[in-house]
Structure 1
Amino acid sequence: MHSVLEKVTQDVIKRSRETRAVYLARIDSAVSDGPSRGSLGCGNLAHGFAACSASEKIDLAATKKANVAIISSYNDMLSAHEPYKDAPALIKAAISEAGGIAQFASGVPAMCDGVTQGQPGMELSLFSRDVIAMATAIGLSHNMFDAALYLGVCDKIVPGLLIGALTFGHLPAVFVPAGPMTSGITNKEKARARQKFAEGKISRQELLESESKSYHGPGTCTFYGTANSNQMMVEIMGLHLPGSSFVNPYTPIRDELTKAAARQVLKFTAQGNDFRPIGHLINEKAILNAVIGLLATGGSTNHTMHLVAIARAAGIILNWDDFDQLSRAVPLLAKIYPNGPADVNHFQAAGGMGVLIGELLANGLLHEDIITIADKPGLSNYTQEPKVIDGKLTWEPSPKASLDPEVISSVASPFAEGGGLHVMHGNLGRGISKISAVAKEHQIVEAPALVFDDQDDLMAAFKRGELEKDFIAVIRFQGPKSNGMPELHKLTPPLGSLQDKGFKVALVTDGRMSGASGKVPSAIHMCPECADGGPLAKVRNGDIIHLNTQTGEINVLIDKAEFNARKPAINSAKDHHHGMGRELFAGFRLNATSAENGASNLFFND
């Protein structure tokens, strides 16, 4: 075991001892001797199976067979969720054949940051995670179920499902991925078209043609943003079947994996001999495995918030310093866009999760001794990949080494010595920086501040030609309490264009950037946020800011007494609290914790 991983693990266990014990006692007290529905009254149970077939009613009334809940994010507008259309029928048939029952317990909302990027709807995005967790709880609250299958893929959906599942931590759980769409045009071509459009060199129609060739079919987007970071994270924690995360939808193996996941969860109910409730599977070691996977693959910055909230749902106290310490020890082993030209299909072809996990395990950089949903305990089961041979699903050993060292490297020869995320700190507060996709020559910037309270104001200044110079863009009042913390991904093309022209540019904000961002150096998620009087609200146009993403320093170079004497600015942005449903989330904004504490409404009063 790597000494840094051992130290951080012990720190997290010690820090979480009391809250974890309370959580485990709570979920253990919820375990029933027989099927959960056995505690329901006759009227309750009759309502619970009123729409079932006659045979299902007999089985449910007998309270002998385990009943599995299906919680799904299916909708047919969004490509990542459309492949779940046929999953309930496959699952119900597989579970019935295996001697159980399944009911579709709840749908959860699923929004796409790609659709809402730069739009008012993006200000609902982060809070949708907590809504999904609550919707999951509502579906399971009928107490009809002995296990659950969770069908979700994208940005806030998987974290929300995980938080909801951990709230019902006494139930076994298996997560069922949908897989990425097949590859379209290269990510480099897509990024080039976006930058050309920002520069006015191509038309909107040409841009739309490029985007449509990139996002062209069912499945997740193929770049390595938050959605695919989710899939990596869930598999490395042992909640997916081995090697199942990045199998394309509408293929025979994808359907077989869905059916196998359904059969698998039945093995782990309290009625059997191998009880594996999710609240015991997701322990401190599993959470830290997810952090390590994120760092080793250069994954999404959004998980510096999501993993904190997920851990808290399991009584585990994870913080940004844990990310930072591990980032200094965990090398970057994957180059997937935006960290490189490859997409997740190339990653899968190079050996995928099996090669990645095997390499990390061999070098003491993962906890092998976790309980997973594979047949045998231990993460070493995840150095296998699924195959369909003669119509039967089986697992074979993954390649021992990467089949494409330009996509997956090794600990002996990494793409970078440290992981791609650093904690930023200084007189402007604490934040996060993703440097895995930032060229070394751009990782340190010292320049005058240009202050904006709305991303649209920066875009307008760019179009007017006012940004042809060195500067650090300070985008204030973008935190959870201000406007729901939308992603600021649409700023990447103009800032990237200026950087390509030779200007020194960077971004500092209490908001978020997309999991696909990274070319421009940044300090994001800055805490305390401006709405809480954070120091970023004191920055003025022309103040010199020093940003060093290598060392994690972020400072405004102003006399300390002078800076402290300044009064925080008042938000001058247009109304971000009304329209497109934003008025319904006033309570979420009011009660949100900081980004460092998960930007959540679910635990602030616990």
Structure 2
Amino acid sequence: MLNALVAAVTDRIRERSADTRGDYLQRLRAASATGRTRTRLSCGNLAHGFAACSQSDKDLIAAGQAPNLGVITAYNDMLSAHQPYENYPEKIREAARACGATAQVAGGVPAMCDGVTQGREGMELSLLSRDVIAMSTAVALSHDMFDAALYLGVCDKIVPGLIIGALSFGHLPGIFVPAGPMTSGLPNSEKARVRQLYAEGKAGRAELLQAESASYHSPGTCTFYGTANSNQMLMEIMGVHLPGSAFINPNTPLREALTKRAVTQLVNTIDRGTAKPLGEILDERAFVNGIVGLLATGGSTNHTLHLIAMARAAGILIDWSDMAELSSAVPLLCRVYPNGMADINHFHAAGGMPFLTRELASAGLLHTDVNTVMGEGGLEAYFEEPKLQGEDEVFWSAAPQESADTEVLRPAVDPFAAEGGLKLLQGNLGRSVIKVSAVKEDHRVIRAPAIVLDSQDALLDKFKAGELEKDFIAVIRFQGPRANGMPELHKLTPPLGVLQDRGFKVALVTDGRMSGASGKVPAAIHMSPEAVAGGAIARLRDGDMLTLDAVAGTLAVELSEVELADRQPATADLTPNNFGMGRELFARLRTGASEAESGASILFSSESDDAASPRNKG
């Protein structure tokens, strides 16, 4: 039996999205009805499209009977998570030929790393790069040469961008192909300890670099449960990965076999006529399943932006109220750093995605009657784990009935917490979100005076000068998508953690992001409306008394409505954000970005479809 609240939220989303989803499906089905694309290409079109192929591939493509797969890759060898993709195209071509099909790299998309750009000017391109990735995906597929696609991407903005772009070609079947996490390195507890020592001036740069290098040490995703690994969880629980494939380490026999199986799975379902268009797989039920998975695992707060934008690409309208309501019904089943000390490899070894998916489904928290890339069987195929048979054949068998480590992964009947880790905060400053799964209960309600600043560096300067030895709520504004591209403010985590450990009551309020690695300090993020768009956060002053209550779901300043409205909003000189590191090229993306609760996107209107949202109905 599906949980009543999950069913109600799904029905509400379906009703709210009736017009936009209906329009999307109508376009999808019209595109599907035109048949194989290559039959419509002129001889000149087709000759250009396969000029560099082998003669055997040319013959297959020209005949137009066998599937031709497009590969969209986010490969670069500067990102550890994407480096394994270097050799995937040839492996995919070989696997396609083995089952009578062809494959071509249709195009590449940019892939930047928040870990490299953290605290740097380049970070101001990060969130906006998601929409660039989506558009790049569309450009690659616009050659109209393909019957299906494989999407190679892992990290923060890359997977959401690929999803958005893929949904613009949602009539095509597709599979997302993961690359897996790096093996475990320095324990997360030790990494966090060294970071705090460095913030206090008790460790030097050499010691910090040694710790960081021991943490991020080989090909694969970073092992903490940030946005990259949250992406992989989402792709699996939403049915666009092969079952159990998200967290297999790179360059292992099972990883290699799963990559080949993704190709044969796609070709076989096309040949059998059971392949579902990606736009039909990713329906309201799939997105609700994704939100439930995010909540149950304490996943990245960045997905309070990305899931909204991805859903809109499929004509589906979700908002923070939906997420917060689901959070009240979804138990927290995982403790993975920063919500615990274990890493993603420990989660996988404890039972991983097959165990998690089965537990959530058995508790009635997931829609199991969904479409997936497996072509049949609904979500039940995802209760099984992949194994090797021989050298490179994959088969699936039932996942263990019990967690191998209940300090990392628990059954639904014995959760770490009765509710998920996400809260919606509302009050006279607007709406924001907070992740509390890593915040101790005695830090979830903070009443303290505001320290109002317009950059994270200004707060770091105060910390280094010893001016923050007191209770306070830091307000960091002019960090929203329209102001400077909404960078992550992860540099604030160590100093605020130090002050909290010293016994001070501290919290953060910002219209910026705090990253998928946000942890033990309460942080009200994504404040909407943002300061540059006239949000009330621009009217705050030093000393204003704020109350952040993550239990009641409120965030407010202790001012009357009249006094707050009468204040002149502050302004900030944003011209330094306009140039350097390519930021001048993103000016129109910044000014055109929608509010955070609309996905902080240039691709979707925050006016017409927002009218359906509960937050705009009083």
TM-score (normalised: structure 1): 0.99
SS at match of 2:17: helix
8 Å CA contact 2:275–2:375 kept in 1: the answer is: no
Match of 2:475 in 1: 474
Q: In structure 2, how many angstroms separate the alpha carbons of the residues matched to 1:236 and 1:304? A: 17
Shift of residue 33, structure 1, vs aligned partner: 5.2
Tell me, yes or no, if structure 1 residue 429 matches structure 2 residue 430.
yes
SS at match of 1:267: helix
Alignment of 1:184-199 (within 5 A): 184-199=185-200
Q: Which amino acid aligns with 2:366?
A: L
Alignment of 1:188-587 (within 5 A): 188-269=189-270, 272-391=272-391, 392-572=393-573, 575-587=576-588
- Which ranges of 4 or more aligned residues in structure 1 deviate by more than 4 Å? none
Any unmatched runs of 5+ in structure 2?
A: 609-618
Match of 1:175 in 2: 176
Alignment of 1:17-166 (within 5 A): 17-32=18-33, 34-166=35-167
Q: In structure 2, how many angstroms separate the alpha carbons of the residues matched to 1:446 and 1:542? A: 12
Cα deviations by residue, 1:121-160 (Å, 9 ceiling, x for unpaired): 0000000100000000000000000000000000000000
Q: Which amino acid aligns with 2:387?
A: K
Taking structure 1 as reference, are residues 31 and 428 closer, same or farther at Cα in structure 2, changes over 3 Å only?
A: same
Aligned-CA RMSD value:
1.1
Cα deviations by residue, 1:323-382 (Å, 9 ceiling, x for unpaired): 010001101000000000100000000000011011111110000000111252310110
SS at match of 1:578: coil
Taking structure 1 as reference, are residues 239 and 420 closer, same or farther at Cα in structure 2, changes over 3 Å only?
A: same
8 Å CA contact 1:35–1:65 kept in 2: the answer is: no
8 Å CA contact 2:131–2:603 kept in 1: the answer is: yes
Shift of residue 266, structure 1, vs aligned partner: 1.2
More displaced, 223-232 or 51-60? 51-60
8 Å CA contact 1:358–1:400 kept in 2: the answer is: no
Taking structure 1 as reference, are residues 495 and 161 closer, same or farther at Cα in structure 2, changes over 3 Å only?
A: same
SS at match of 1:192: helix
Q: In structure 1, how many angstroms separate the alpha carbons of the residues matched to 2:78 and 2:227? A: 19
Q: In structure 2, how many angstroms separate the alpha carbons of the residues matched to 1:112 and 1:275? A: 33
8 Å CA contact 1:453–1:573 kept in 2: the answer is: no
Taking structure 1 as reference, are residues 53 and 390 closer, same or farther at Cα in structure 2, changes over 3 Å only?
A: closer
Shift of residue 79, structure 1, vs aligned partner: 0.2
Q: Which amino acid aligns with 2:403?
A: S
8 Å CA contact 1:302–1:512 kept in 2: the answer is: yes
8 Å CA contact 1:453–1:572 kept in 2: the answer is: no
Cα deviations by residue, 1:185-204 (Å, 9 ceiling, x for unpaired): 11111111111000000000
Count of residue correspondences: 605
SS at match of 1:227: helix
8 Å CA contact 1:591–1:604 kept in 2: the answer is: no
Shift of residue 559, structure 1, vs aligned partner: 2.4
Shift of residue 410, structure 1, vs aligned partner: 2.0
Cα deviations by residue, 1:180-221 (Å, 9 ceiling, x for unpaired): 000001111111111100000000000000000000000000
8 Å CA contact 2:483–2:574 kept in 1: the answer is: no
Q: Which amino acid aligns with 2:280?
A: H
Q: In structure 1, how many angstroms separate the alpha carbons of the residues matched to 2:305 and 2:211? A: 32
Shift of residue 35, structure 1, vs aligned partner: 2.4
Shift of residue 275, structure 1, vs aligned partner: 3.3
Q: In structure 2, how many angstroms separate the alpha carbons of the residues matched to 1:223 and 1:153? A: 14
Taking structure 1 as reference, are residues 77 and 481 closer, same or farther at Cα in structure 2, changes over 3 Å only?
A: same
Q: Which amino acid aligns with 1:343?
A: D
Q: In structure 1, how many angstroms separate the alpha carbons of the residues matched to 2:18 and 2:100? A: 39
Q: Which amino acid aligns with 2:487?
A: P
Shift of residue 462, structure 1, vs aligned partner: 0.7
Shift of residue 563, structure 1, vs aligned partner: 1.3
Q: In structure 2, how many angstroms separate the alpha carbons of the residues matched to 1:470 and 1:299? A: 28
8 Å CA contact 1:153–1:178 kept in 2: the answer is: yes
Identical counterparts, % of pairs? 59
Q: Which amino acid aligns with 1:225?
A: G
8 Å CA contact 1:246–1:348 kept in 2: the answer is: yes
8 Å CA contact 2:479–2:512 kept in 1: the answer is: yes
Any unmatched runs of 5+ in structure 1?
A: none
Q: In structure 2, how many angstroms separate the alpha carbons of the residues matched to 1:34 and 1:373? A: 20
Q: In structure 2, how many angstroms separate the alpha carbons of the residues matched to 1:382 and 1:144? A: 31
8 Å CA contact 1:197–1:203 kept in 2: the answer is: yes
SS at match of 1:224: coil
Shift of residue 28, structure 1, vs aligned partner: 0.9
